[in-house]
Structure 1
Amino acid sequence: MFVVTLSYTVPMEQVDAHLEDHRAWLDQQYAKGALLASGAKVPRTGGILLVVGLDRAAVDALLAEDPFAKAGVAEYDVVEFTATKTAEALADYRETPAS
């Protein structure tokens, strides 16, 4: 599982110019099962994505297709972690730690 933080690198007006395309891209990733959650940081300086079911190379490829990445309006920080405990509603996403 991956936590991806987006940080905007340009004024908000430039980010907003790509927001509709970014949201459509998010919808596509949810339909594919790649996203578990997403949303804006508070304050709105970027966003957070919770990515599942992919390896690191696939996550990098997925992020490269984000309209925000293509437009150069955001930078991404990717953290991989093993979700060994979850809320019951997320039990399907629990992972066994590597030995």
Structure 2
Amino acid sequence: MFIINLTYIVPLEELDQHMAEHVSYLDKYYEEGIFVASGRKVPRNGGIILALADSKDTIEQIIKEDPFYIHELAEFDITEFLTSKYHPHLKNLLS
């Protein structure tokens, strides 16, 4: 599993101009079963995406499709972790 940590590097007004595109991007990877959860940080200075993938390289390629990446609106940090405990409803996703 991966935590994708976004940190916004532009004013929110500029970011919001690309929000619809970003949501479409998120929807694509939810449909593919890669994204598990996502949302804004509080305060709104970035966001978090939880993702399932075979490798960090795969996640890096997926990030390159994000309008926030394409338009240089956010910095992206990827943390990989091995799930040792998780909610039972995630079992099907993780196996």
TM-score by length of 1: 0.90
Q: In structure 2, the residue corresponding to 1:3 is in which secondary structure?
A: strand
Asked whether 1:27 is paired with 2:27, we answer: yes
| Higher RCO (C-alpha 8 Å, min separation 6) | 2
Q: In structure 2, the residue corresponding to 1:68 is in which secondary structure?
A: helix
Aligned to 2:70: 70
Alignment of 1:14-93 (within 5 A): 14-93=14-93
- 1:84 CA displacement: 1.3
Would the aligned equivalents of 1:33 and 1:53 in 2 still touch at CA under 8 Å?
Answer: no
Asked whether 1:3 is paired with 2:10, we answer: no
- 1:93 CA displacement: 4.3
Instruction: Quote the Cα distance in structure 2 between the aligned partners of 1:62 and 1:9.
Output: 20
Would the aligned equivalents of 2:4 and 2:76 in 1 still touch at CA under 8 Å?
Answer: yes
Give the count of matched residue pairs. Answer: 95
Would the aligned equivalents of 1:85 and 1:94 in 2 still touch at CA under 8 Å?
Answer: no
Q: Which amino acid aligns with 1:45?
A: N
**RMSD value over aligned CA atoms?**
1.2
Would the aligned equivalents of 2:2 and 2:51 in 1 still touch at CA under 8 Å?
Answer: yes
- 1:88 CA displacement: 1.2
Q: 1:41-63 CA distances to partner (integer Å, 9 max, x unpaired)?
A: 01111100001033111100000
- 1:87 CA displacement: 1.1
For the pair shown, which has the larger CA radius of gyration, 1 or 2? Answer: 1
Which stretches in structure 1 are left out of the alignment for 5+ residues? Answer: none
TM-score by length of 2: 0.94
